[in-house]
Structure 1
Amino acid sequence: MQKIFIIIGFIIGSLSNVMAQGSRASQPNIVLILADDLGYADVGYLGKKPGISTPNIDLLAKNGMAFTNAYAAAPVCSPTRASLLTGKSPAALKLTCHIPGMGMQTYLDKFNKGQKLKEAYFVDRLDSQETTIAQLLQRNGYATGFIGKWHLAGDGSAQSNDGIINPDLLPDKYGFDSNIGGCAYGQPASYFSPYKNGTLPDGPAGEYLTDRLGDEAVRFIVRHKDRPFFLDLSTYTVHTPMQAPEATVAKYKGNKYYAMIEKLDQAVGKVVGKLKELKLMDDTIIIFYSDNGGLQENPPLRERKGSLYEGGIRVPLIISWTNHISAEQISHEPVTTVDFFPTLLEAAQIPLPKEGQLEGQSLWPILSGERTTARQPLYWHFPHHRSGTELAMAAAIREGDWKLIKDFESEELYLFNLKEDVGETKNLQATETNKTKDLLLKLEAWQARVKAEMPEPNTAN
């Protein structure tokens, strides 16, 4: 009888250990590759920029679903990153602007000077009370790793020596078992070692940052290959400073931007190559995405990073899962950052948290080919100035083919039919008055619902 109890105890203990580590059958690995400032046109598979070389990203698109109407939650980085982690809009999080490396007050003084409106209030960190996707996955047996750019950890990083403003705001406090490279920096001190990054030990002199982060991602995969894992590889590429190895720059006749994109593509290739080598492709969801519109021109879209025109918010998105998502699919459905949270929890068979207000919709009806779920409108709220950028300091809504932008300072409205005019050249608000009123009412109702912070008159001028 004693032997029976011992055996039963051993079985129960073994089952508990398996449950603690997660189940491969019900919990796929999740690899999120988040590029920085990579524009809609900055990938080879779309064919918008001759000379761009992204064979690994292109192959990922071929093996999964590529989205042509994917959006970032904001036209700048920090808000999108916070939104992705929480499933909430930047407006709901009060984190609607990039967290300024120059320091909050210096930033506000600079950008409010001479303006009709002063920027709306925003915070300089991801609230520690928010529940992140990493925390939920971690609690359900996933190994979780963050590698790369965090930029949610306090203002003033440009004045620091190592990018660390407050250790309590780093990724390991938000559900990640390990953190390599994530700090308050919005851009690297240098793309070449020494990095001056308190969470990234320096490599050999001259080591290239994007190469290093790709190598770290591979090491994470190898360490956790026998249990479900969540890898967030958030590259600093292609954010300034424009730096790349001389040999790669020479291939593009001095075009450092294209050279940096090639190095990004190589990092993607390292990750996918290791998953293939370890025979993990059937068990791994891979997402490739960008945090905002491109730093440079984004044909055929209008404007770039910082604008609520399409060039500032429409981004590349690929989702691949071998033998689960059919290959060579293209979706034209409008989707955005808050949709990842419910999508990934559904894939991992984890219930949505009851607290808080999740704003996204699961993408599985699209990924499975069902497309039976009506898509809700997409919203943006960006009450911030951008020098030389059209339609910053604005809010927007997209519903179906229609998009409305409201300029906060001029109070002008811009209505576009994106199906017919993706370049946003024809403002239809004067002729499509009913559509304009309908979208404006929905936009304002959403702003009230999430308690969006609004810009105020600038009495300092």
Structure 2
Amino acid sequence: MNKLNNILKIIFIVTIIISCKTTVKTSHDEEERKPNIVFIVVDDLGYSDVGYMNQKEDIQTPNIDKLAKDGMVFTDAYAAAPVCSPTRASIITGKSPAALKLTCHIPGMGMEKYLKKLNTDKKLKEGFFIDHLLIDKISIADVLKQQGYTTGYIGKWHLGGGGSINTDDGIVNADYLPSNYGFDINIGGNAYGQPASYFSPYKNGNLKDGPDGEYLTDRLGDEAIQFIDKNKSKPFFLNLATYTVHTPLAAPVETLNKYNGNKYFAMIEKLDQNVGKVMQKLKESNLLENTIVIFYSDNGGLWGNLPLIGKKGTLNEGGIRVPMVVNWKGKIEKSSSCNTPITSVDFFPTLLQLVGVSTKDYTELEGQSLLPLLYGKSAFPKRSLYWHFPHHRNEGLSMGAAIRNGKWKYIYQFETQKEFLYNLEDDISEENNLVSKFPQQTKELSQELKQWQQKVKAEMPAINN
């Protein structure tokens, strides 16, 4: 009997050990299944400034084109603002620029000098906005860190205070660096809206100088590769925010020669090369099937955005519609396309759902998860997209607000009090103002836009005395 009991006891202990090992393995496997996230945010890349758009034949982007061929292209992707800082803040927080009180780019010359310059001889003063992202806002990096992710920020931040051109290193206030918003690593991110130099020495307090003449886009690409290599055995979130293709336009001589001195096209090729380097690193590390890659621009381009009109700084399509590709091997259908309008506030809830976190715990989010679209499902809520930009620009529709609902887009210009209504399905170039033809549609969109502005407590422009 004792012998039998001993045998049963041994069997019981072995069963427990096997069970524990299985439990540990399952837990480890679950952690491994959490997808890595590579979010590439390009600065000022226009809607048609990529090869797959077939609008500018001299643009060469084979790596970005492959990213699109192997993934999903969003034809109606928007930035939350027609300038950089607000869009970047909306990505980090999942909140609209109007709600964040950060509706304009943070001025390198400093707030006081900027407002004096922009308000001169204008009927309305620029709407109030702050010069940094508030520390108390929950960031997507904070949430991902709680889920076991290593978080890295490489490149342009531009959320860290005004007056960066008056510094020697781009640091206006160390409290407003990416490391205080949930990022474990910050390489190159500070208050700069554009680099002091595209060639080393960089005069960047968060980026060590390389050899003289080293090109910034290449350097940030190399830093991204090192980050992937160092963290490939665990979940990571890499936010690669290139300074390119923002001015001042500059590129290596050997690349310039290929484009007869066209600096912009040369910069795009260098961007493409480094996108290719990142994708090659993911492939070599056997991470492609467990990494979602998002390629996106922070606002419209400066150098023509065919077939759109307008450019960076305007509420026309050319100022806010941007190139966007999402790639995830084996999860997203190859060569697929999505024409559902989306915007940058959608990324936060998308990444939450991606890693299994409920959006119900984050009630201030203003966007929608894009996973149903990425997975090819039709269940996606009908909604309107909104823009509030109470700021002056010299060209195109600015100092105004806009709403898109389905095929309709309505713009109201504060300074002139003019209204614009476009049917984007028939008129992507916004050539035909339909306000007089569709007065009821105009009225409904105008009222909805005003209701949203009141909801988010949007700052309005005031009379300029």
TM-score range relative to shorter protein? over 0.9
Q: What corresponds to 1:145 in structure 2?
A: 152
Aligned letter for 1:61? A
Tell me by how many angstroms 1:389 deviates: 1.3
Matched, 1:363 2:370: yes
Q: What corresponds to 2:6 in structure 1?
A: none
Instruction: Find 1:316's aligned residue among 323, 328, 332.
Output: 323
Tell me by how many angstroms 1:351 deviates: 2.0
Q: What corresponds to 2:107 in structure 1?
A: 100
Tell me by how many angstroms 1:357 deviates: 1.7
Tell me by how many angstroms 1:295 deviates: 1.5
Tell me by how many angstroms 1:22 deviates: 7.8
| Structure 1 residues 361 and 355: CA distance shift in structure 2, 3 A | closer
In the aligned structure 2, how far is the partner of 1:216 from the partner of 1:384?
A: 36
In the alignment of these two chains, the number of paired residues is: 451
Tell me by how many angstroms 1:374 deviates: 2.5
Matched, 1:339 2:330: no
In the aligned structure 2, how far is the partner of 1:36 from the partner of 1:79?
A: 13
Tell me by how many angstroms 1:369 deviates: 1.2
Instruction: Find 2:294's aligned residue among 281, 287, 290.
Output: 287
Matched, 1:23 2:31: yes
Contact 1:22 1:228 in 2 (8 A): no
In the aligned structure 2, how far is the partner of 1:287 from the partner of 1:172?
A: 22
In the aligned structure 2, how far is the partner of 1:59 from the partner of 1:345?
A: 27
Deviations 1:314-365 (A, max 9, x none): 0000011111111110111111101111111111112226355211111111
Matches within 5 A, 1:293-304: 293-304=300-311
Aligned letter for 2:458? A
Matched, 1:407 2:416: no
Q: What corresponds to 1:128 in structure 2?
A: 135
Tell me by how many angstroms 1:174 deviates: 0.3
Aligned letter for 1:164? I
Matched, 1:59 2:66: yes
Deviations 1:150-176 (A, max 9, x none): 000000001100000111100010000
Tell me by how many angstroms 1:434 deviates: 0.8
Q: TM-score, normalised by structure 1?
A: 0.95
Q: What corresponds to 1:456 in structure 2?
A: 462
Instruction: Find 2:181's aligned residue among 174, 178, 185.
Output: 174
Contact 1:192 1:206 in 2 (8 A): yes
SS in 2 for 1:233: strand
In the aligned structure 2, how far is the partner of 1:304 from the partner of 1:22?
A: 45
Matched, 1:306 2:313: yes
Q: What corresponds to 1:416 in structure 2?
A: 422
Q: What corresponds to 2:5 in structure 1?
A: none
Matches within 5 A, 1:181-220: 181-220=188-227
Aligned letter for 1:191? Y
Q: What corresponds to 1:265 in structure 2?
A: 272
Tell me by how many angstroms 1:296 deviates: 1.0
In the aligned structure 2, how far is the partner of 1:159 from the partner of 1:66?
A: 40
Contact 1:150 1:184 in 2 (8 A): yes
* Greater gyration radius: 2
In the aligned structure 2, how far is the partner of 1:210 from the partner of 1:316?
A: 19
Where structure 1 has 5 or more consecutive residues not aligned to the other structure, the ranges are none
Contact 1:22 1:227 in 2 (8 A): no
Aligned letter for 2:202? Y
Q: What corresponds to 1:45 in structure 2?
A: 52
In the aligned structure 2, how far is the partner of 1:291 from the partner of 1:371?
A: 27
Instruction: Find 2:441's aligned residue among 435, 440, 445.
Output: 435
Aligned letter for 1:244? A
Q: What corresponds to 1:112 in structure 2?
A: 119
Matched, 1:397 2:403: yes
In the aligned structure 1, how far is the partner of 2:30 from the partner of 2:254?
A: 44
SS in 1 for 2:452: helix
Q: What corresponds to 2:4 in structure 1?
A: none
Contact 1:406 1:413 in 2 (8 A): yes
Tell me by how many angstroms 1:121 deviates: 0.4
In the aligned structure 2, how far is the partner of 1:257 from the partner of 1:193?
A: 19
Matched, 1:232 2:232: no
In the aligned structure 2, how far is the partner of 1:373 from the partner of 1:179?
A: 35
Q: Is the deviation greater in 403-412 or in 372-381?
A: 372-381
In the aligned structure 2, how far is the partner of 1:76 from the partner of 1:200?
A: 24
Contact 1:22 1:142 in 2 (8 A): no
Matched, 1:382 2:357: no
Aligned letter for 1:248? T
In the aligned structure 2, how far is the partner of 1:160 from the partner of 1:416?
A: 44
In the aligned structure 2, how far is the partner of 1:355 from the partner of 1:349?
A: 13
In the aligned structure 2, how far is the partner of 1:232 from the partner of 1:185?
A: 17
Identity rate, percent: 59
CA RMSD, Structure 1 to Structure 2 (Å): 1.9
Contact 1:22 1:140 in 2 (8 A): no
SS in 2 for 1:23: helix
Q: What corresponds to 2:380 in structure 1?
A: 373
Where structure 2 has 5 or more consecutive residues not aligned to the other structure, the ranges are 1-8
In the aligned structure 2, how far is the partner of 1:426 from the partner of 1:120?
A: 29
Aligned letter for 1:252? Y
In the aligned structure 2, how far is the partner of 1:225 from the partner of 1:208?
A: 26
In the aligned structure 1, how far is the partner of 2:283 from the partner of 2:254?
A: 28
